[in-house]
Chain A
Amino acid sequence: MAYAFDFTAVVAHWRELLKGCLLTLQLSLLAMPVTLAIAVAAMLVLQLRETISTWLIGTFVEIVRNTPFLVQIFFLYFGLPSIGVRLDPNVAAIIALGLNGAAYTIEILRAGVEAVSRGQIEAGLALGLRPTQIFRYVVLKPALRTVYPAMTSQFIFLMLTSSIASSITAAELTHVGAELEAVTFRSFEIYFTIAGLYLVMSFGLSKLFALIRRISFSYPAR
């Protein structure tokens, strides 16, 4: 017997799906600045060239990059309450996404920082810039410019990863999908549509990042 596709269930619930998209974007757009802030802070710490803190950052990166996101989010959401830290699903999702993304962004940004030649920093010193100014204008901004494509595709990946937060009942698109599935029993149609929505969102984000690049990272630098 051939299966009759029925997308009316999907169309009837377009409001919920749209809301799911917005929630996904909300979660990811909140997690992205967290990611970037942690990564930039780590770069600052790495500039100090202190053994212990460098080792700590390295260990954090290795642990996060070599364990699955699902286990990390379970650890945060189901594990932490047993030591008295109870998190709201959405908050846990943002923290998990932020920390997970940070580990990858640190690696990416570190490559960019290492690509800044020593002479540039010496030139900055010779011009009498303060260390904070050197970090901000001579090291960080060119580094961000260099790694921008890699970093933004990492951010898009973060948005896709947020779908895993549905497993701790964080309210985002995939979770909305699971709820609709329970009401309409049209699992294939619903997940097919949702995959399409993710595709649209990742396309939209990549356009947005290209726009931001044109506005704030183009030469001549302002």
Chain B
Amino acid sequence: MITSLGPAQFHLLLVGTLWTLALSTVGFLFGGLGGLAVALCRTCGLMALERFAAAFIEIFRGTPLLLQLFIVYYGIGLLNISMSPWIAVSIAFTFHASAVLGEIWRGSIESIPRGQTEAAKALGIHYCFRMRYIILPQALKISLPPTIGFLVQLIKGTSLAAIIGFTELSRTGTLLSNITYRPLLIYAIVGLIYFIICWPLSRLGRAMERRLSPVISQ
């Protein structure tokens, strides 16, 4: 039976959109925490920790996100723990976001002039305070545009959860195109929804970058 595109179908798309947003939010929040840990490990000065963080970043940046999803999804399956796909997918995106944000924030931390760290050390300011009150606030400002850029990437990336069967926006689109037989229209609508979510963020990121650039060039 061919279903036409009515309010019920748009409701489904809306639900799918909410799942996409939920997945992105969870991945971004937990990935942010993980990313901070990775960035701090990567810049801490202890060789072993730095190597470990570098390897972590390299592995996640050198493999496709889709494969990372597969591995975490099937890997959790091996552990004999029953876990809803929602949790499994969230874990995968958290790892991915930790690695990428870790790399972005490492760059920001390292871009803060060395003299600041040295001055803080000379004043006897402990590592925690130095990071919390001197380095990180400045690094945060620099890192905002690429971080927002990554958030856009992450939102788009959550569409891959559709391939392992998680019903978010893209998979809702596939399901709808299968019952309405109007793939062109449905995928255009799905694309439009992603665009409406991502475009303002992209613009925000670019505006911040412009506002920031004179500061950096000083």
A residues contacting B by CB (< 8 A) are 1, 3, 62-63, 65-72, 74-75, 78-83, 160-161, 163-164, 166-167, 174, 177, 187-188, 191-192, 194-195, 198-199, 202-203
Q: How far is the CA of A199 from the CA of B133 in the complex (A)?
A: 38
Q: Is the CB of B74 within 8 A of A70?
A: no
B residues contacting A by CB (< 8 A) are 58-59, 62-68, 70-71, 74-75, 77-80, 152, 156-157, 159-160, 162-163, 170, 173-174, 177, 181-184, 187-188, 190-191, 194-195, 198-199, 202
Q: How far is the CB of B114 from chain A (nearest CB, A)?
A: 23
Q: Which of B74, B160, B187, B199 contacts A66 (CB 8 A)?
A: B199
Q: How far is the CB of A17 from chain B (nearest CB, A)?
A: 13
* Chain A residues, Cβ within 8 Å of B63: 160, 195, 198-199, 202
* Chain B residues, Cβ within 8 Å of A70: 159-160, 162-163, 170
Helix, strand, loop or mixed for chain B's interface? helix
Q: How far is the CA of A81 from the CA of B181 in the complex (A)?
A: 11
Q: How far is the CB of B19 from chain A (nearest CB, A)?
A: 14
Q: How far is the CB of A21 from chain B (nearest CB, A)?
A: 13
* Chain B residues, Cβ within 8 Å of A83: 184
Do A78 and B187 form a contact, CB below 8 Å, given A68-B156, A70-B162, A174-B66? yes
Q: Is the CB of A78 within 8 A of B183?
A: yes
Q: How far is the CA of A78 from the CA of B183 in the complex (A)?
A: 6
Q: How far is the CB of B2 from chain A (nearest CB, A)?
A: 13
* Chain B residues, Cβ within 8 Å of A199: 58-59, 62-63
* Chain A residues, Cβ within 8 Å of B177: 78
Do A71 and B190 form a contact, CB below 8 Å, given A3-B80, A66-B202, A191-B70? yes
Q: How far is the CA of A175 from the CA of B215 in the complex (A)?
A: 47
Q: Is the CB of A74 within 8 A of B173?
A: yes
Nearest B-chain residue to A75, judged by Cβ: B187
Interface centre among B63, B71, B79, B188 (most CB of A within 10 A): B63
* Chain B residues, Cβ within 8 Å of A67: 156, 191, 194-195, 198
Interface centre among A71, A161, A166, A174 (most CB of B within 10 A): A71
Q: Is the CB of B67 within 8 A of A198?
A: yes
* Chain A residues, Cβ within 8 Å of B195: 63, 66-67
* Chain B residues, Cβ within 8 Å of A203: 62
Q: Which of A65, A68, A71, A164 contacts B64 (CB 8 A)?
A: A164
Q: Is the CB of B71 within 8 A of A195?
A: yes
Q: How far is the CA of A32 from the CA of B194 in the complex (A)?
A: 25
Q: Is the CB of A68 within 8 A of B170?
A: yes
